[in-house]
A = this chain, B = another copy of it.
């Protein structure tokens, strides 16, 4: 996989570093800004937290990463861009995982009709006990 995206513009080194960290963590791994800061710091000591914030904004705007905002979460998490999916959070251990589910387009169309709004995005978040916490 190419280290940089095929655009003509090059990412600033720090932003590229943040992107690398997110991509190397892999799909389904959700990193907070602080996680990113810690990991980036170990590779490039002295990097500022502001730069991390600016970096994720830029990467999000470029569509390179997904910013995931969860209801009630204290902070946003980031993961490499993926197809739309739901998220599950364990109320006990706090773990967050992807769930391959998307609200059917038919449902969204129907809700748009019923509300008179133009629905462009639907986020689904599930809560409960994860498999591990269920067993325990």
Contacts and interface: CB of A to CB of B under 8 A. Distances in A.
A97 B116 CA distance: 12
Interface residues of A, number: 38
B88 A123 contact: no
**A interface, by DSSP: helix, strand, loop or mixed?**
mixed
Contacts of A127: 119-123
B117 A129 contact: yes
18 contacts: A69-B71, A71-B71, A88-B117, A88-B119, A91-B120, A99-B111, A99-B115, A108-B126, A117-B130, A117-B131, A118-B128, A118-B129, A119-B126, A120-B128, A122-B124, A122-B126, A122-B127, A123-B127
